[in-house]
Chain A
Amino acid sequence: VVGPDAAEFLHRFYTNPLLHLPPGRCRYVLALKEDGFVYDDGIVACVEQDRFHVTTTSGGAPRVYANMQDYRQTEWPELNVWLTPITEHWAVIALNGPKVRRLLAPLIHDIDFSDEAFPHMSVRTGTIFGVPVRLFRVSFTGEMGFEINVPAAHATMIWEKLMATGASLGITPYGLEALLHMRAEKGYIIVGQDTDGSQTPFDLGMGWAIGKNKSDFVGKRSLKRPDIVAENRPQLVGVLTVDATTVLEEGAQISHINTSEVSETPEKMVGHVTSSYWSTTLGRPIALALVTGGHALIGQELFVPMPDKVHPVKLVKPAFYDPDGERLNG
């Protein structure tokens, strides 16, 4: 997103304050539809003044791009800003773990990797193995992490060189499943898995992502609608099975009563499990769920009917590991 009005455009498009995002800094952003519901998230990075590198949830780029063009062309044609899809130009390699800087710093001489010069949520440009790199210090795993953007034709070469150079540090590839586990342990949502297009930022515990002093952004007015400010909306919580061994099914329903006891009247389900994994790190299962009035129910026991039996569960805050984010600093 490039042009003299790029910052203003993004400031109107996302919930977050972006007008004064300085060159070199990144921000995690939420995108709402006009009805106030979250439909995408991502990172806005200010590469240099008037030039922003924007990422979306997996598979979301074409949809967000189309939406951005819609607003640019029909709502805000007065803004001097242009949008260019760059999904195919950059290949991105995520590198995470406490030893990340030990591997990367010697390979990229033109970037200062100290915390002062390159804090978490920043972007720098440089060269790696002779190839230009746009380096983001961002993390979806919760570990100290970098996303290494190189022109797509060089991706294989860069990957193989990182694997070879990192062998002595115990580098290993990790797959999607491992990533899903790690992000869930941190309570990082996946739009489209932990959301279904009917959650506001408040439902997700992310009211902090809304700029308090913003006069307007897409979806802002809808956040005042009666059903949006109502009590007892479905809200994102963490769920722990009391037996600490059962992995709940994603999609499993949640009830206030033990539904194995025969009831004359149908019992209302008050939520469902959105993500569920066995956490190797914690040695127990964890899950995320949307539960009616969930924020106020944290600490309480509810029930999840599963094919074998009804399982008692406890609602907790949706952050199971390293809640203060210390591991982001390595």
Chain B
Amino acid sequence: MVDSKMPTFTRPDLLFFHGASGTKLSTTPQIARFSLGIAAKDVGKAAGAFGVSIPKNIGEMIQAGQSFALCLGPDEYQLMVPMALANPLMKNFSHLRATTPHSLVDISYSQVGIEVCGPLATTIISAGCPLDLSVLPVGGCARSILDKLQVIVIKTGEQNYQLQIMRSFAPFAGKLLAKAAIQYEAELALNSGEE
């Protein structure tokens, strides 16, 4: 259900910047997100309920199709799946309750996904994120900040990132990234013009 009165950057699947060098900034489709709390020793059981491996080390991500499992903290994980898989996922975890203490909380709408693609992707995100993204491996994730905002950075390719931003702050993040993209695209054009 897409409400055309939603603030621009919270609308899913919206391409909001397209640059000459191939930079694309877009919001991602609406997906189901869950915060999973479980002791590290029980992660294997959670993986059984999830149907996909769950990584054990902070900063690791496992992707299977359109399902993602991120390890964000010592006992904190984020699971992301297509909307249609949300109810089956919750049902599977409810079976786990009897044997394994854990917390599964639906946070689907608490975050908005912003995809940053293209040769300038790392540069653009680095305008607000202090991490050395060249060191973040493809297939890895990190919790950091974008300017003043909390962000989860997921590196899906050398030129491809998905950022998870808290919903209220999506407009700020979207505009920040767009401004950075405009600047870097312009600099690129200027520099190539000098040759």
Partner-contacting stretch, out of A19-27, A82-90, A163-171: A82-90
Complex contact A89–B107 (CB within 8 A) = yes
B103 and A153 form a contact (CB under 8 A): no
**What's the minimum C-beta distance from A40 to chain B, rounded to whole angstroms?**
21
In whole angstroms, what is the CA distance A53 to B110 when docked? 15
Cβ contact within 8 Å between B101 and A84: no
Expressed in whole angstroms, the minimum distance between the Cβ of A154 and any Cβ of chain B is 6
- Name B37's contact: one of A2, A85, A87 (CB within 8 Å): A2
Q: Are B168 and A157 in contact (CB under 8 A)?
A: no
Size bracket, chain A contacts: 20 to 34
B5 at the interface (CB under 8 A from A): yes
Which residue of the partner chain A has the closest CB to B36?
Answer: A82
Give Cα distance in the complex from A156 to B2, angstroms: 11
Q: Check A3/B109 contact, CB under 8 A, given A82-B75, A84-B37, A88-B168.
A: no
Main secondary structure of the interface of A (DSSP, over half): loop
Chain A residue contacts of B168, Cβ below 8 A: 88
- Expressed in whole angstroms, the minimum distance between the Cβ of A237 and any Cβ of chain B is 38
Q: For residue B170, which residue of chain A has the nearest CB?
A: A88
Main secondary structure of the interface of B (DSSP, over half): loop
In the complex, what residue of chain A is closest to B12 when comparing beta carbons? A153
A299 interface contact, C-beta 8 A? no
B3:A152 contact, CB within 8 angstroms: no
B104 cross-chain contacts in A, Cβ below 8 A: 2
Task: Decide yes or no whether A57 CB sits under 8 A from chain B.
Answer: no
User: CA separation between A84 and B33, bound complex, in Å?
Assistant: 12
Q: Which residues of A contact B30 (CB under 8 A)?
A: 153
Also in contact, A154 and B102, with CB within 8 A (given A82-B75, A88-B109):
no
- 18 residue pairs bridging A and B, Cβ less than 8 Å apart: A2-B103, A2-B104, A5-B101, A50-B97, A80-B39, A80-B101, A82-B105, A84-B105, A86-B105, A86-B107, A87-B110, A88-B109, A89-B110, A130-B1, A152-B167, A153-B10, A153-B109, A157-B3
Known pairs A3-B101, A86-B107, A131-B1; list 16 more (Cβ under 8 Å): A3-B37, A5-B101, A81-B103, A82-B38, A82-B75, A82-B105, A84-B103, A86-B110, A88-B110, A88-B111, A89-B107, A89-B109, A152-B109, A152-B167, A154-B3, A156-B5
